[in-house]
């Protein structure tokens, strides 16, 4: 009789063990789904992956470098000297994302004269500029309440606001961030 009771106990324990394994697998699957949804949220609403294309941001950021930047939102807006990703429609009506630096903010005036940049009549320090940069003069330009003015650090080859005009704030997709590849470029973007 005790042998029969032991067999029943073992059978019950085996069923409980199988239920526990099944619950454990369901929990692991649920955890993976939650992690996936969190990552999806982060990459769609908080950060974006960035790749520098071309030489317009040299010597500070090189062609092919990769990083992550914070998406713009009401709490994360561009400011003077920030590195930004902007949406630009090229001559073939293709959308491109380009990396540039902010020099003037909404309602500012900007002027370039004799290789010097003036914002609201004051000369702006320009420590990021590539050596040997030569810029054409730009007459004083008044920005609207929803516009910024951006320049590449390597102005000799940069497609920036001098050519494409002021950038609408709605077209600024990300601000500052962290470069991580290649490893020798690792660091905060500023």
Match 């993976």 to its residue by tokens: 32
CA torsion sign for 3, 7, 8, 13 is positive
In this prediction the pTM is 0.76
In this model, does residue 5 exceed pLDDT 80? no
Q: Which CATH superfamily is domain 52-189 in?
A: Umud Fragment, subunit A (2.10.109.10)
Match 């900007």 to its residue by tokens: 110
Q: What does the pLDDT read at residue 100?
A: 93
Measured distance CA(25)–CA(32) in Å, rounded: 11
pLDDT, one tens digit per residue, over 20-42 is 666 677 888 888 899 999 988 88
Token pair listed for 53: 């294309």
- DSSP letters, 69-122, are EEEPBTTB---TT-EEEEEEE-TTS-EEEEEEEEEE-TT-EEEEETTEEEETTE
């Amino acid at each position: 009789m005790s042998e029969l009771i032991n067999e029943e106990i073992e059978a019950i324990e085996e069923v409980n063990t199988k239920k526990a394994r099944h619950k454990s697998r369901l929990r692991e699957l649920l955890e993976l789904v939650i992690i996936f949804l969190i990552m999806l949220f982060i990459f769609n609403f908080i950060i974006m992956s960035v790749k520098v294309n071309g030489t317009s941001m040299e010597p500070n950021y090189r062609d092919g470098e990769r990083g992550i930047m914070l998406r713009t939102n009401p709490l994360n807006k561009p400011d003077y000297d920030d590195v930004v990703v902007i949406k630009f429609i090229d001559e073939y009506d293709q959308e491109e994302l380009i990396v540039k630096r902010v020099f003037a903010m909404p309602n500012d005036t900007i002027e370039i004269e004799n290789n010097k940049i003036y914002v609201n009549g004051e000369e702006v320090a320009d420590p990021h500029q590539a050596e040997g940069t030569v810029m054409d003069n730009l007459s004083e330009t008044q920005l609207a309440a929803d516009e910024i003015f951006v320049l590449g650090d390597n102005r000799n080859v940069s497609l920036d606001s001098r050519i494409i005009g002021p950038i609408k704030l709605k077209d600024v997709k990300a601000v500052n961030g962290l470069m991580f590849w290649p490893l020798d470029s690792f660091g905060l973007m500023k």
